[in-house]
Amino acid sequence: MKQELRITRSVPRQLALIALCIFLAGLGVYILYTGGSVALGIVDAVFFAACAAVFIWQMFLPAPLVLGPEGFTDSSSSAGAGFVAWRDVKSIFIRKLAGQTFVSVEPADTEAFLSALHPAKREVVRANIAAGFPAINITLQATGKKPGQVCAIMQEYRDAWEAAAGAGISKEAGGKSCSGREEDLSQGSPPGIDNPPENG
C-alpha cells in the first residue's frame, strides 16, 4: 500500500520571496524619507509589506498537495478541491494555462464533486468549468516540483488504489492521462488560481 506523500512548499523559495518583498517595501520607505513621490512610496511600502505577510502566512498553511492510499488533498489555491477520493477520479493530466503548468483532474461525477464543495468555492469551480477549464487545477509553483513528475506520481497512487480495490477501471475509459498529454489553453488562468507568475 502506498504511504502518504506530502508535496510541501519550498522553504528556500518562500524565504527568498519574503526577503525580496521586505527589500522592496524598504525601498518604498526610503523613497518617502528622501523626499521622493509620497504616493509611490506609500503604494510600494504597503503593497510589498502585504506580499511579505502573505508569503510568511503561507509557510504555516497545510501542504499544497497530499497524496494517500485512498485519495489526495488539494490545498494549492483558493479553488483547491480539498480531499478527493481516487474512486472519484476519472483522469489526471497536464494542462498549460497562460504560461503556467497545472496538474488537472477530471472528476468521475462532476455534479457530485461540486455538491460536496463549500458554496463559495463551488461557484469558483463552476466558473472554471463554464470557461472551459477542468474542475480541479493543482498549482505547484510554491513547491518547486515539476508538474509532469507529480502528475505521474498521482497516476501511480491511483493505479495502486485500483489494483488494491480491484476496480478494473481502464485507462482508455478514464480518458486523459499523465503520459504524453499536455494541453495549452491561451484564454488565461482559470478563476480562483491565485499564485503569482513564477520568476526566472
Question: What pLDDT does residue 167 have?
Answer: 58
* Most distant CA pair in the chain, distance: 72
pLDDT along the chain (200 residues), means of 10: 84 90 94 89 94 87 90 87 92 84 91 88 86 87 88 92 71 46 40 38
Rounded alpha-carbon distances, angstroms, from residue 109 to 85, 114, 165: 12, 9, 19
- Report residue 122 as a C-alpha cell: 463551488
Phi, psi dihedrals of residue 7, rounded to the nearest 5°: -95, 100
**Checking DSSP bridges between strand 89-97 and strand 182-185, what pairing results, if any?**
parallel
Question: What pLDDT does residue 177 have?
Answer: 58
Measured between alpha carbons, how far is 50 from 48 in angstroms, rounded to an integer?
5
**For the whole model, what pTM was predicted?**
0.68
Measured between alpha carbons, how far is 25 from 44 in angstroms, rounded to an integer?
6
> Are the beta carbons of 104 and 136 closer than 8 angstroms?
yes
Q: How many beta carbons lie within 10 A of that of residue 166, not counting itself?
A: 6
Question: What pLDDT does residue 195 have?
Answer: 37
Question: What pLDDT does residue 200 have?
Answer: 37
Question: What pLDDT does residue 190 have?
Answer: 42
**Checking DSSP bridges between strand 71-74 and strand 65-67, what pairing results, if any?**
antiparallel
Measured between alpha carbons, how far is 173 from 149 in angstroms, rounded to an integer?
23
Q: How many beta carbons lie within 10 A of that of residue 196, not counting itself?
A: 11
66 by DSSP, 3-state: which?
strand
